[in-house]
A and B are shown apart, each in its own frame.
Chain A
């Protein structure tokens, strides 16, 4: 037990540049669909919509894609429109 505790302490001493240490600043990524030069979310813009869909054609959660809450809602609506018109699949392979 004692030995193990010692090891842990050593590990944390690695310094600010250590790969294994969590940096104090949290890495934040901004929403790729917000901002000035953001692309328009439309069901006809298939190239954009396909980025936010998994291999099995499911809509990816925003915690993975970093899309903001409002844009995610708009995105999922447009994807569903594209599905109705058979531009995108409901289910993948």
Chain B
């Protein structure tokens, strides 16, 4: 089992229901492959450094995954063909940090 850090950006206009449905699809893929989310961070809606698909803002979600490389491949495949997700990045990490990052929205 490896640890992964996965961040995805969704379009800011999505309703909370749709955001939840994107999340549910990812968790479904994870469950299917006997993996799980260890930690979760919500970075909120941020202005993008450059426009992506003509949108200047995006909603950032960050999840820490415990699983194998197959899961990451499947999640990325789903996100690539989903219009709601505009960008994503997954990184293999050695251990999961305990503290929240600075990007977490403090409301």
Give A contacts to B, CB under 8 Å: 42, 44-47, 81, 83-91
Please determine whether A90 and B103 come into contact, CB atoms closer than 8 angstroms. no
Cβ of B27 within 8 Å of any chain A Cβ, yes or no, is no
Could you say which of A42, A44, A45, A86 contacts B49, with CB atoms under 8 Å apart? A86
Q: Mark B39-65, 1 if CB is under 8 A from A, else 0.
A: 000000010111010000010100000
Residue with the greatest number of chain B CB neighbours at <10 A, chosen from A47, A83, A84, A85: A85
Give B contacts to A, CB under 8 Å: 7, 9, 46, 48-50, 52, 58, 60, 87, 89, 91, 101-103
A-B contacts, CB under 8 A, total? 35
| 11 A–B contacts, CB within 8 A, in A order | A44-B101, A44-B103, A45-B101, A45-B102, A81-B91, A86-B48, A86-B49, A86-B50, A87-B46, A89-B49, A90-B49
Known A-B contacts A44-B102, A46-B102, A90-B50; the reply to A85 vs B91 at CB < 8 A is: no
The CA-CA distance from A47 to B101 in the complex, in Å, is: 12
Please determine whether B50 and A81 come into contact, CB atoms closer than 8 angstroms. no
The CA-CA distance from A38 to B88 in the complex, in Å, is: 29
